[in-house]
Amino acid sequence: MADKDGLKVAKDYKVDIPFANNEGFYVKGANNLDWGMQKHLSNIFNPKSGNSVMFAFDHGYFMGSTAGLERLDLLLPKLAPYVDVFMGTRGAIRTCVPPQITKGIALRVSSGSSMLNDDLSHEVVAVDIEDAIRMNADCMAVQTFIGADGQLSSIDNLSKVINAGMRYSIPTLGVVAVGKDMARTDRFFKLATRIVAEMGVQLVKTYNCDNFEEIVAACPVPIVVAGGKKLPEPEALNLAYTVISKGARGVDMGRNIFQSEHPVEMAQAVAKIVHEGFTDKEAYEFYLDAIH
Ligand code: R5P
């Protein structure tokens, strides 16, 4: 391990120069992966836009019944036409997603905390690789707590899932967790996203922050951005527009869709930004027209 003293601060991100190893397959960092991995990534990232609208409804894995997600069986079929990927637990997906809905599946495979804990950073791998295969998962999502008490176990979980995924050509989604004591700075997200990418994940989920384009430039796999707490619709659309403009390859949005008064129209508006190049203002106009 390098001596930490006297390390220079990374700053030469060359954000205007596109990722170089980009011949052959359109998903960042996936050129050297096999057919099965590339097929799953194509189920996640639309081959035309290269981007993805992931709908996150895995909140129940530690929050239980969440406002807006009380009736997954009613919500999910309505949203299906407007999103690329369903991100949820195996319990929610098996029970509430009719198998004839042909969406990508991001399967939440780590678990172990609940809202009743102060420290959420201690998790285990809760889903066998065989069950991910049975569910035809397009990626397996693992929460990763860099800098938190549970860092070691979460990196252990992440490594086990990546190793299993490599055996069966199923990508791993490294989910950068933000604990309550962690500063949401670009310094933290640069550290966390790069560690997770170097562990070997095929895609990373993180949050927006200052200098987001530098985080994208330094991360050799695609980044999708979480929506976070519920915002007024124009602000949530601005978040989506900002991160897509700065190089995110999609959003993995939950509350800003399912807690909207109009989740279907909100999902459509987000997709306009992610896939069709709409600005946030154009997408909001679309949203207002759609709800009236
Ligand atoms: C995080 O790991 C959660 O389980 C959610 O998937 C994530 O936070 C995205 O949902 P939201 O947009 O509501 O933050």
- The pLDDT, as a whole number, for residue 1 is 66
Q: Is residue 64 part of a domain?
A: yes
103 labelled catalytic: no
Question: What are the tens digits of pLDDT across the range 146-169?
Answer: 999 999 999 999 999 999 999 999
Structural domain count of the chain: 1
Report the distance separating Cα 91 and Cα 185, nearest Å: 34
Identify the domain containing residue 55 by its residue range.
35-230+248-262
CATH of the domain at 69: 3.20.20.70
Q: Is residue 97 part of a domain?
A: yes
Under-70 pLDDT residues of the chain: 1, 179-181
CB distance 190 to ligand 1 below 6 Å: no
Q: Is residue 199 part of a domain?
A: yes
Q: Ligand 1: which of 55, 61, 175 to mutate, most ligand atoms within 8 Å of CB?
A: 175
- The pLDDT, as a whole number, for residue 129 is 98
Which residue of the set 28, 205, 246, 272 is catalytic? 205
Q: How far does residue 211's CA lie from ligand 1's centre (Å)? A: 21
CB distance 68 to ligand 1 below 6 Å: no
- The pLDDT, as a whole number, for residue 23 is 85
CB distance 175 to ligand 1 below 6 Å: yes
Tell me which long-range contacts 180-189 makes (C-beta under 8 A, separation of at least 24). 181/148, 182/147, 182/148, 184/209, 185/209, 185/210, 186/210, 186/211, 186/212, 186/214, 186/215, 188/146, 188/147, 189/215
Amino acid identity at 211? N
- The pLDDT, as a whole number, for residue 127 is 98
- The pLDDT, as a whole number, for residue 181 is 67
Q: Is residue 292 part of a domain?
A: no
Question: What are the tens digits of pLDDT across the range 26-68?
Answer: 999 999 999 999 999 999 999 999 999 999 999 999 898 899 9
Q: Is residue 220 part of a domain?
A: yes
Report the distance separating Cα 120 and Cα 113, nearest Å: 5
Atom index in ligand 1 nearest the CA of residue 59 equals 4
Q: Is residue 20 part of a domain?
A: no
Q: How far does residue 145's CA lie from ligand 1's centre (Å)? A: 14
Q: Is residue 238 part of a domain?
A: no
CB distance 60 to ligand 1 below 6 Å: no
CB distance 205 to ligand 1 below 6 Å: no
Decide: helix, strand or coil at residue 135: coil
